[in-house]
Amino acid sequence: MAYFRPKEYCQPSNIAEFFDLLSKYQAKARIIAGGTDLLVQKPFGTECLIDISGLGLSYIKKTDSGIHIGATTKVVALENSPLLAQNPFAVLSEAAHAMAGPTVRNMATIGGNICNASPAADLPIALMVLNASVEIMGPGASRSLPIGEFFVNVNKTALKDDEFVLEIRIPRSPRSAGTSFLKLRRHQTAVDLALVNTAVSVEKTGNICDNVKIALGAVAKTAIYAIEAQKYLIGRKLDPEVIKSAAKIASDESQPINDIRGSADYRRRMVEVLVRRAIETCTRRCQLWEN
């Protein structure tokens, strides 16, 4: 059938019920939570919609190991959570605030945003610099993947047909780490996908960079780490020339395409600008904690 005409809608109230449905319909089932991606895509051949909002996966919890965020947690909750209000976790609430518009943020979920695997998505790059992991559950076993390995291609994740995302875990981070999220849109006040977005996290002693993560969005088939730029920065003094060079390296690592939002060349230049500014902001935010 050429239309989106699922014959069934189910809202399982526990995980066992959920897996029964998923194994019954397999590839013909679609998981729905916020609906803001699925009901735009309206995938053909869907026979059953499984609504996971009744599984109790809407939470942001502080634990001994870090912060756990349930898959169906709304983006608006990330924006407003006191647990994500401070550096370094604030990079996630900044990304949440930059995403879509307020009405969509009232509906969209963190699990949906990562499972849609848009290369331009805002939350994944913030999660990448926080070293988050994705907790995946299958009918028999659970597994955990670093978020950077979760995305395998445009709109394609490492999830198998019989698996789903249970929660996202952010490990404890040193409070001294400085983070930053920046997003370039065609018009900065409009609701738009990113032309380029970047998240950066920096840890330093004095002015020497101890650790750095640079994640780039909308400039490759998936969100990527600028690995060479990271390597270059570690152990170096974070002065303006070094930061500039690192930004240039990150730009060379990006593999953007031409599309209606901008040219590949423009995107590469903007990677350089955004990465430089994000590192500068991180450096300032590190200092705030040192003082």
Partner 1 sequence: MGKLRIMITVNHQKHEVDVEPYETLLDVLRNKLGLMGTKPGCREGECGACTVNLNGKAVLSCLMLAAQAAGKDVLTIEGLQEGARLHPLQEAFVKNSALQCGFCTPGMIMASKPLLDANPNPSEKDVRDSLTNNLCRCTGYKVIVDAVLDAAKSVNKKGAHDEN
Contact with partner 1 (CB under 8 A) among 2, 40, 141, 260: 40
Q: How far is the CB of 234 from partner 1 (least distance, A)?
A: 38
- Total of chain residues touching partner 1, rule CB under 8 A: 26
Site string for partner 1, 131-170 (x = CB under 8 A): ----------------------------------------
- Is residue 102 near partner 1 by the rule CB under 8 A? yes
Contact with partner 1 (CB under 8 A) among 141, 189, 206, 235: 189
- Is residue 291 near partner 1 by the rule CB under 8 A? no
Contact with partner 1 (CB under 8 A) among 18, 25, 36, 168: 36
Contact with partner 1 (CB under 8 A) among 83, 107, 242, 264: 107
Q: At what angle do helices 264-290 and 240-253 cross, to 10 degrees?
A: 140
Interface residues with partner 1 (CB under 8 A)? 4-9, 11, 32, 34-36, 39-40, 49, 51, 53, 100-104, 106-107, 189-191
